[in-house]
Chains A and B, each alone.
Chain A
Amino acid sequence: MAPTDSENSPIVVIGFGPVAARLVDSLLPAVRSGALSLTVIGDEPHPAYNRVLVADLGVGRTTAADIALADRDELEAAGVVLRLGVCVRRVDRARQLVHLSDGSAVQYGRLVFATGARPVVPNLARLNPDPQLPIRLPAGVITLRNLDDAATLHRAVQGRRRVVILGGGILGLEAALAAADEGARVTVVHHGPHTLGRSIDANAGKVLAAALRARGIRVAANSRSTGVLLGQHDGGAPASGAGPDGAAVPNSGTGLDGGTGLDGGAGSGSGTGPDSAILPDGGTGPDGGTGVPASFSALELDDGTTIDGDLLVLSCGVRARTEVAAGAGLATGRGILVDHGLQAHHDPQVFAMGDCAEVRCLDEQCADCRGSTGPSGLIGPGWRQAEWLARVLLAGVLPPGAQPSGAQPSGAQPAGPPAALAPEQPPVIVLKARGVDVAAAGNVAAEPFDEPAEGADPGHTAGTLQAAPPLNVSTWADPEHGQYLKMATRAGVLEGFVSVGMPRAGAELVLLFERGSELPADRSELLRLDAAGMPAAAGGAPDGTVCRCAGVDRQTIAAAVVGGCGTVAEVSAATRAGTGCGGCHGEVRALIEQHFQPAPA
């Protein structure tokens, strides 16, 4: 349905993370021109920053200024109203009001949830003694999602301290590799036989484990942790930032605190809810009250052993922040439920995008929604949603002259609603690490000589009798050199792949998987991409050409030499060989020398 009365009514965005920042960027020209009114509410005191890079920030590889995605002054100068450092208490959909933690309320015409996700805090002894209460992380325990977490990690890395990463997922590994590279002593503790358990197969896991060990990272596989041990640190604990730091933690006041945070740093998964959920304000939480807070000293495992450390980084996945939406009566599942137009169920004025949104429409027969597994946790889909939603919000609003920079004023029309948002492809993971190349996607469980599963073929569509083509698997393994590749294809198109230690092949496979393109029948073409010496460029000069520039072949030069040319200059004068770029002088010289060499006795 076309927006009518809501066209010029205010847009309110809850959350100011990377996905919200993309939406704001896209709406900015219309705000600047006065065609739109826009308010952005964020519970962190800073404008959006690239949460994906928080681990890099935590190991000192970048600065907070360089990961900024928005500038407060620029946005305010354009007319955007920023409400930062406040939480949303509740949304009154009947009156179209957003009530904030500071007691004020904001009227909306259209409301966008970009509240992101928050990290899952596992149930560990002494981490959260009272399950009825919001979680307060002890000193020396962090999730890695905001600037304060990064600062805490940075102190640990600078002090070359012992960092324990709980979780063998992609974000945990990225943090582990970065911290180890920058000098921390790192242990990764994870379930299952190998890291990235949900994304790569066992062989890839072995190659990856070797790469981790080579970088000095201890890996505790098949480990179930049961609790944390807290002790009084002998000073210099890196953990102070992890305490309930009132300055950094907004005052929420209620358990229904702001779902206002950051839409998720999806790719980083550390991009999760604000600490305010985990570290509620002192008003309601039990205030430890013990004076000097105890700090993390070790992780307890179920076999009774412990892993000592100075800092524990929890990297155990994320969960969508849906409390405010749920409190407003919106349907939620793994996220706020939206249709394919990102519109909340039964409320055309409310939208959700990014890590807090689950696309599942009201049509129970919808094929696209049948396999929904909730928010992807990746940044790419969130950004695509933000760009698309901006076009929806701008439909019919944008007057000529308010185009984004670069567009020509002439011939600009108010934009119509965009074509439907394409459903997201299955996620691809690319490990963000220096010198360890891992990319994977899809189903990588199948092995080369597996028997085809009877009747359970996922390629078999209901109502058709035609059997789907078989799943074929090709692999390449060279553990000594840290290389492993698996490609699972159906009719030549990838259903899954994993690539370790093969950067070029991995990069191409990502593209081929995302496009659904057919692989070359000769799969070794992909292996060759990582070959050390690439063959000379083909498609250039015909065989035997010595001088490409002038198009002179070996025979002509040899004839000139026979005819009396004894120097490169003479050959050039006679044949023009070597008169362009000069790159063939060596070869011409060799031909001359060859001719004048004494014949073998």
Chain B
Amino acid sequence: MGKKLGLSMRGRHIFEGYSFISIWIVGFLLFMVIPLGQSFYYSLNNLEVTEKGLIPTYTGLTHYRAAFTTDIHFVPLLQSTLTTMLSQVPLILIFAMFSALLLNRQFRGRVLFRGIFFLPVIIASGAILRELLEQGAAQLPIFNQYDLFGKLSAFIPEDILEPLLEYADSLTLVMWDSGVQILIFIAGLQTISPSLYEAAKCDGATKWESFWKITFPMIMPMLFVNTLYSIVNSFTKTDNRIMDHIMNIVFRSNNYAYGSAMGWIYFIVISVVLAIVFFVFRKSLSATEGRG
């Protein structure tokens, strides 16, 4: 093909490269660039729904200001989304790493247990999980059944106990949310050469030491990937209440413009959070770079 066009070797290489990713670029324009541009345009206008279509009138940043001033739901919802994210993502990461370390050992029934640990990936995404939540199946019975609350409240003041137990309740959900992350950690653990551990053992390192000196630095990149994934996942989950709020504004009240503006604010908030994560991980990632 390149020969006909009279391209050099290098030119042909570049041409072939572009043709492989060309379908993605077309999709990117159609499903990302154009819609993003449009929604930004919508957010700066007032849209009137008529038979001819949407008629915009320019209003500037009014919708953005409205989200923070007149909308009584938006800011609290944004706050609660952020706090759940902040409290759950570290838990997900710790739990996922712990499970991955367990599952990475050689033991009988390993395949079976791995199958079970990935079960949430299969059933816990989307609407089904919400069903379970509503029916209380996602909460372990120990907290309700044995009146843990009543017993513990004798020792711990209720103000502390209540959020603590709520946290424990959400722990099940944390575990259910960490399927993909466990998978990524296991794949990462597999890439660490066993000879490293042997060398460390010969030098008299304990298991605890070799975890912090070998395992942890080596799976730093996966920790980064997992952090990103967990954050994005928690922001775009379907049972996210801010998502519901935006969808209600858009499809119940037909206020496309305001919905788009909120979507943009939300997107900017996510970007800021992710930028912070990038910044935090920058140092530790550059340290492990080029290890091959």
- Whether A and B are associated in the same complex: the answer reads no
